Amino acid sequence: MIEVIENKKEWNKELELLKDVDFYHTYDYHHLSKNSNESAVLIKYTDGSTSLFLPLLIRDIDNSIYKDATSVYGYSGVLSLNMSDKFKTEEFYKELNVFFNDYKIISVFSRLHPFVNHQEAILSGLGTVANLGKVVYIDLTDTIENQRKMFNKRMKSYLNASRKSCTVIESKLENHLQTFIKLYHENMKRVDADTNYFFEDSYFHQLLTSTDFSTKLYLCSHNETQQIIGGALFIEKGGMVQYHLSGYDEDYHDLNAIKLIIDEVRIRSTQNNFIFLNLGGGRGSKEDSLFTFKKCFSKNTKQFKIWKYIVNEEVYGALVQKYLGSSLMTESNEFFPAYRVKGISSKQQLH
């Protein structure tokens, strides 16, 4: 049986039963992430004592009666309750297809969660699951000393020097938040980021005030001048801490503000009994300079995967031809869905 949940109270009630929930699965984050022409839904499938939960954003397709669905930016995928080896995925696929067709959804895309089990096994028989890259994480169940042993020598030297010049603080003050937003936007300009990454001020305020998860703003203050030279947002939910957004003052680049913040969050999160600190991957899931920066903190990695499913091949092909002038289906590593490659009604963001 399929049930569509859109109410916050019901959404939260279902998530409370699950142990692998991250902030990416929450009602608040979905409503914070969606555009005006999108709706957030939690699809619940029940078979006996087993339940599956698939959170999605359903989007209109320009000049069409059809829709498609995507996960929020981050790591989402399907969650399970009382999963067993006897679970019949074929029945799940059958009912899910009925739901997609009833809603005129012709394609579905989801970024799977690297730390949630069973996602690939549940979804791989419907569409395709593909490896996209790796994410770097710190095992917070290990000792603080053993975690530090994974740092490369240069990182240890940077941190030793930074701690002599700077102090990391946690703050919810409005002026500190505005300082962080400015640093973050300057950072996005510096790396020539897509416009989708230039969030409105309300986005940051809603992150910090959500009751579905806990967002912490950490700032790096220069001891001599008391100037805020860097900041980062970390989001806590369950046993996970996610490194979300950051920015720093280019004039103080040599003081390695973000490195120091990550190190301080690592220590505090370990002391507060969290399990993982996920630093994420590289830009577009590539093993680039950003990925190398994160690897300086840990040798631990998890595979990041995506799920792609074309529900209606005929309509999908027609839309590709309409917007791209070609009816060719996309290969596994190409943009999906292909008809959105030029950005029609889309807020698609890279990992």
All domains of the chain in start order, with CATH: 2-134+303-340 (3.40.630.30), 141-274 (3.40.630.30)
- Residue 85, pLDDT > 50, answer yes
Q: What digits encode the pLDDT tens for the residues 204-216?
A: 999 999 999 999 9
Q: How far is CA 230 from CA 16, 28, 45, 245, 300, in A?
A: 35, 27, 44, 11, 25
Q: Beta partners for 233?
A: 217, 245
Nearest to 229 by CA among 179, 192, 274, 265: 179
Q: Is 342 exposed, middle or buried (0-12, 13-18, 19+ CB in 10 A)?
A: exposed
- Residue 198, pLDDT > 60, answer yes
Distance (Å, whole) CA 140 – CA 275: 5
> Are 166 and 341 a contacting pair, CB within 8 Å?
no
Q: How far is CA 163 from CA 223, 234, 258, 307, in A?
A: 10, 20, 12, 42
Say what the pLDDT of residue 345 is: 42
Q: 350: pLDDT confidence band, cut at 50, 70 and 90?
A: very low
Distance (Å, whole) CA 257 – CA 231: 8
Average pLDDT, the chain: 92
Say what the pLDDT of residue 335 is: 85
Coil/strand/helix, residue 32: helix
> Are 231 and 268 a contacting pair, CB within 8 Å?
no
Residue reference for tokens 């008809």: 339
Number of alpha carbons in the 13 Å side-chain half-sphere of residue 203: 16
Nearest to 2 by CA among 112, 80, 91: 91
Q: What digits encode the pLDDT tens for the residues 34-55?
A: 998 899 999 999 999 999 999 9
Q: What digits encode the pLDDT tens for the residues 239-268?
A: 999 999 999 999 999 999 999 999 999 999
Q: What digits encode the pLDDT tens for the residues 74-83?
A: 999 999 999 9
- Residue 327, pLDDT > 50, answer no
Nearest to 100 by CA among 187, 20, 41: 41
Say what the pLDDT of residue 63 is: 87
